[in-house]
A = this chain, B = another copy of it.
Amino acid sequence: MSELSEAERRDWLKLSRSENVGPVTFDQLIRRFGTAGKALSALPDLARRGGRTAGLKLATDTAVDKELADGAALGAQLIAACEPAFPQALAALDPPPPLIWVRGRVELLHRTCVAIVGARVASAAGQRFARGLAADLGQTGHVIVSGLARGIDAAAHEGAMPTGTVAVLGGGVDDVYPPEHANLYARIAETGCVVSESEPGRAAVARDFPRRNRIISGLSRAVVVVEAELRSGSLITARLAAEQGREVLAVPGSPLDPRAKGTNDLIRQGAALCEGAEDVVRALEGLRGFREPERGYGGGPAPEPDDALRAEVAALLSPTPVSRDEIVRATGAAPAAVFAALVELSLAGRCELQPGGMVAAI
């Protein structure tokens, strides 16, 4: 963990904004090449080896300059996953987002964060509960993370406004959505903190929300779901949290209330029952620190995949996601060589490396 130079941070940004470079590929490239600069030099060649015929579109210097200037104009800060200022909880993800933009009090991200999420169309009782829970957890020193959405999210932010709250956005750190939350946003940016993986100025589109949800749970020690229908976004956040090894709590509700179906189901599946701040505090008791990520951004030599291995890996992929470990087992080759082949294929746009260790053909 060390701070990047300006030039290195530019390279990180450029690499992360280049075509077909998702967080998994980014992580693999840094492992293999040691620095973003070296990875950028190797990128066109890797994509070609993966089967790409057209040139891979790297982020332009103009675009990188613009993003840095836009962020600076907002007073926002760009933090890379390898830097000390990057939140420890988020750095423990495998892989972490390569970079985040942060507006407001960055230090809040280094305290114990608890996410409170739930239905956008929430009941008055649910909103009241979320507001009270956020306030109570704030009083006990916790920072409340949520997604600035209508309903439960907004109530949680409001409750934690006096003590500290973090809004994670799908668009840029200046993308206020829904528009009626302009005042809420302004107060959070002033007294709390706004976080986004996207470039400033970008308006959120549907596919940004799963990434946003992953950061909401990734920043947090525990995720509390207040009201949620079956098959709702909050349940996806809860699933991500469980996969990330975070505590999942759910607020029970009457079986006659459809907004309790999702939370009751979480409890049935093993989530802790949450009736108030005490339950969250109890769930957090005895938790240990996040393990230092093993990845060690130091780089090192990796076995090169040959054409035969690359072809074998490509043939093993299908649109149904499988784990990378399964691909390794099926080939019998060195994991590093298989991962390198997968990175090449992903840069060529032939497969998608998903967080959580899964890979699917495109």
Which residues from chain A sit less than 8 Å from chain B, CB to CB?
125, 128-129, 251-257, 260-261, 264, 267-268, 273-276
Contacts and interface: CB of A to CB of B under 8 A. Distances in A.
Contacts of A254: 125, 129, 251-254, 257, 260
A253 B253 CA distance: 4
Contacts of A264: 252, 273, 275
Given A267-B273, A268-B273, A273-B268, A252 B256 contact: no
Question: How many copies of this chain does one complex carry?
Answer: 2
A129 B257 CA distance: 11
Contacts of A129: 254-256
Contacts of A276: 255
Contact of A125 (B256, B268, B274): B256
Contact of A252 (B125, B128, B260): B260
A272 to B, nearest CB: 8
- Most chain B CB within 10 A, of A251, A254, A260, A264, is at A254
B252 A255 contact: yes
26 contacts: A125-B254, A128-B256, A129-B254, A129-B255, A129-B256, A251-B254, A251-B255, A252-B252, A252-B254, A252-B255, A252-B260, A252-B264, A252-B267, A252-B273, A253-B254, A254-B254, A254-B257, A254-B260, A255-B274, A255-B275, A255-B276, A261-B275, A264-B273, A267-B267, A267-B273, A268-B273
